[in-house]
């Protein structure tokens, strides 16, 4: 066992703290913990002073009245370290223009002496941002080269927006300003907290490089404990170092997953979550929400269900109350790879699921951090759907056919059976057909299911009295599982 132990990794990083301060800290990665303590050594005895904002952070301070609502063009030459040196807020989804919310003293934007907190960014290198979402603006600024030309206009009337909104100065857990995964009262790490060193358990901790605010040099790293109580927002010297730290933390977190599974299995055995006992997979997914926001979800895959949690459940009660539960037999993987139409998911590391429910079809778009994570999740979800079909074997639903109240039974091996049951009389079979005879199935999205077996009855029209999508998805899962049995790709 000793030979398998990984050597600790340590180094001086910067930690984002209240007031947009960046504190120099010593970060040490062990097998079970990530430790953060005050940085020591050359230039690191005390944390660097808080980066001052131009105009003292007040949108109306020191801004000449003659500049109000006047378009200006500002040329910025990026520094080797620090990028543009601004943070932005707003966006179409917030019904606001893209606004400069912070300007950091000494960095490129500050050195122009021509930009102000409250400036609306109208364009970047000629690319119009007047109707851009926050994330579209982030991408536009990321893609700029050494020289950046901004067209801006000072928005004096935006002052209340900055005064009443969150500064975002805390060490962030969820990078989306619109959605907070953890409680708003999550503690903030300060220098006082770090005097003796702060240990973060790595067991199911969340680690990501998909960070906001703007990260043109890809130097940011976001880490949070599984319960959301210890959030860290770290900055390193360059992209290579950020990836090195991510890989090391991610590897150690993954090494602890088998231990987490065993602990959850013990809870599941007692709690009986969704009638399912076996933990197949567990991990963090980032879901895209309506309006371009995102949310981080702790996801547990059992032999029958996909369970969502805000954080790692620590008790039977918490485990028995997922925020959402989706039956795998009615869930389908419909996309894996680059996603069109979303700047957050313009990489290859995304996948989409659809679930048939009584209210219709629910679609969820997720992203992960690595290609290995993507391959693992997509394979486990497809296999899970097939396993759930084999495990379930048969489903039934009340329906009306040709004016008669009856029951539709769908069995993975026996196929389709429509029958009636009356008091004192054994079951009367009205129709029975194997899957192999099914030529077509469709629905109206409201209550009607249509089946065509190419028989004398013609098209079978069944009124299911509710949305048929769940049954439609289950039929697909049974068919897909049967094809997989034959060794073919479903």
Q: How many CA atoms lie within 13 A of 150 on its CB side?
A: 25
pLDDT value at 118 more than 60: yes
Q: What is the 8-class DSSP label of residue 466? A: S
**What was the pLDDT predicted at 96?**
82
Q: How confident is the model at residue 272 (pLDDT cuts 50, 70, 90)?
A: low
Beta strands in 62-143 (DSSP E): 71-77, 86-91, 96-103, 119-124, 127-128
Q: How confident is the model at residue 479 (pLDDT cuts 50, 70, 90)?
A: very high
**What was the pLDDT predicted at 88?**
85
pLDDT digits (tens, 9 = 90+) for 12-24: 999 887 656 788 8
Per the confidence metrics, is the pTM higher than 0.75? Answer: no
**What was the pLDDT predicted at 156?**
67
pLDDT digits (tens, 9 = 90+) for 421-474: 877 677 899 999 999 999 999 999 999 999 999 988 889 999 999 999 999 999
pLDDT value at 61 more than 50: no
Q: How confident is the model at residue 7 (pLDDT cuts 50, 70, 90)?
A: low
Q: Which carries the bigger pLDDT value, residue 488 or residue 145?
A: 145
pLDDT digits (tens, 9 = 90+) for 337-346: 765 554 444 4
Provide mean pLDDT across the span 412-423: 91
List all residues 6 or more positions away from 348 whose beta carbon is below 8 Å from its beta carbon: 337, 338, 371, 374
- Across 471-489, b (16+ Cβ under 10 Å) vs e yields bbbbbbbbbbbbebeeeee
pLDDT value at 157 more than 80: no
pLDDT digits (tens, 9 = 90+) for 200-259: 999 999 999 876 556 677 889 999 999 888 888 899 999 999 999 999 999 999 999 999
Q: CA distances (Å), 118 to each of 51, 56, 61, 69, 397, in order?
A: 18, 12, 10, 11, 59
Q: How confident is the model at residue 79 (pLDDT cuts 50, 70, 90)?
A: confident
pLDDT value at 141 more than 60: yes
Alpha-carbon distance of 68 to 158, in angstroms, equals 11
pLDDT value at 3 more than 50: no
Q: Torsions phi, psi of 166, nearest 5?
A: -65, 140
Alpha-carbon distance of 8 to 84, in angstroms, equals 34
Q: Torsions phi, psi of 373, nearest 5?
A: -60, -45
SS3 of residue 380 by DSSP = helix
Provide mean pLDDT across the span 397-426: 91
**What was the pLDDT predicted at 184?**
30
Provide mean pLDDT across the span 371-395: 94
**What was the pLDDT predicted at 172?**
26
Of the candidates 298, 366, 365, 354, the one whose C-alpha atom is nearest the C-alpha of residue 328 is 354
pLDDT value at 289 more than 50: yes
The verdict on whether omega for the bond into residue 213 sits within 30 degrees of 0, i.e. cis, is: yes
Provide mean pLDDT across the span 59-84: 75
Of the candidates 387, 433, 426, the one whose C-alpha atom is nearest the C-alpha of residue 408 is 433
Q: How many CA atoms lie within 13 A of 373 on its CB side?
A: 22
Token reading at 375: 């391959």
Alpha-carbon distance of 353 to 200, in angstroms, equals 32
pLDDT value at 366 more than 80: yes
């Amino acid at each position: 066992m000793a030979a398998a132990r990984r050597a600790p990794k340590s180094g001086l990083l910067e930690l984002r703290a209240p007031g947009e301060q960046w504190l120099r800290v010593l970060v040490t990665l062990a097998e079970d913990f990530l430790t953060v303590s005050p940085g020591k050594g050359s230039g690191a005895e005390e944390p660097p002073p808080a980066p001052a904002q131009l105009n003292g952070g007040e949108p109306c301070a020191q801004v000449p009245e003659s500049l109000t609502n006047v378009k200006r063009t500002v040329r910025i030459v990026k520094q080797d370290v620090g990028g543009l040196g601004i943070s932005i807020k707003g966006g179409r989804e917030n019904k606001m223009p893209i606004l400069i919310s912070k300007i950091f003293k000494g960095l490129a934007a500050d050195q122009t002496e021509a930009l102000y907190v409250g400036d609306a960014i109208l364009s970047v290198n000629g690319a119009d941002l007047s109707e851009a979402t926050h994330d579209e603006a982030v991408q536009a600024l990321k893609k700029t080269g050494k020289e950046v030309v901004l067209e801006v206009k000072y928005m004096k009337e935006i002052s209340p927006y900055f005064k009443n909104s969150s500064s975002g100065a805390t060490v962030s857990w969820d990078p989306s300003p619109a959605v907070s995964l953890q409680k708003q009262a999550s503690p903030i790490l300060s220098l006082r907290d770090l005097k003796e060193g702060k240990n973060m358990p790595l067991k199911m901790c969340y680690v990501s490089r998909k960070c906001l605010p703007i990260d043109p040099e890809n130097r940011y790293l976001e880490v949070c404990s599984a319960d959301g109580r210890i959030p860290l927002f770290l900055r390193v010297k360059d992209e290579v170092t950020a990836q090195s730290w991510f890989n090391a933390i991610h590897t150690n977190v993954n090494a602890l997953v088998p231990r987490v599974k065993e602990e959850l299995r013990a809870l599941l055995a007692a709690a009986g979550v969704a009638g399912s006992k076996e933990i197949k997979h567990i991990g963090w997914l980032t879901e895209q929400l309506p309006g371009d926001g995102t949310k981080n979800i702790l996801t547990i895959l059992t032999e029958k269900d996909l369970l969502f949690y805000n954080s790692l459940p620590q008790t039977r009660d918490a485990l028995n109350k997922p925020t959402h539960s989706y039956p795998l037999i009615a869930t389908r993987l419909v996309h894996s790879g680059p996603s069109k139409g979303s700047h957050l998911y313009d990489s290859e590391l995304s996948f989409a699921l659809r679930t048939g429910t009584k209210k219709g079809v629910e679609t969820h778009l997720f992203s992960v951090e690595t290609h290995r994570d993507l391959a693992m999740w997509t394979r486990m979800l497809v296999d899970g759907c097939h396993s759930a079909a084999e495990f379930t074997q048969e489903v039934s639903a009340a329906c009306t056919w040709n004016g008669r109240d009856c029951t539709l039974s769908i069995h993975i091996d026996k196929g389709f059976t429509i029958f009636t049951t009356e008091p004192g009389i054994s079951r009367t079979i009205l129709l029975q057909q194997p899957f192999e005879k099914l030529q077509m199935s469709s629905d109206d999205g409201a209550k009607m299911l249509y089946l065509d077996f190419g028989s004398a009855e013609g098209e079978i029209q069944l009124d299911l009295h509710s949305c048929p999508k769940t049954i439609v998805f289950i039929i697909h899962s049974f068919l897909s599982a049967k094809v997989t049995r034959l060794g073919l790709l479903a």
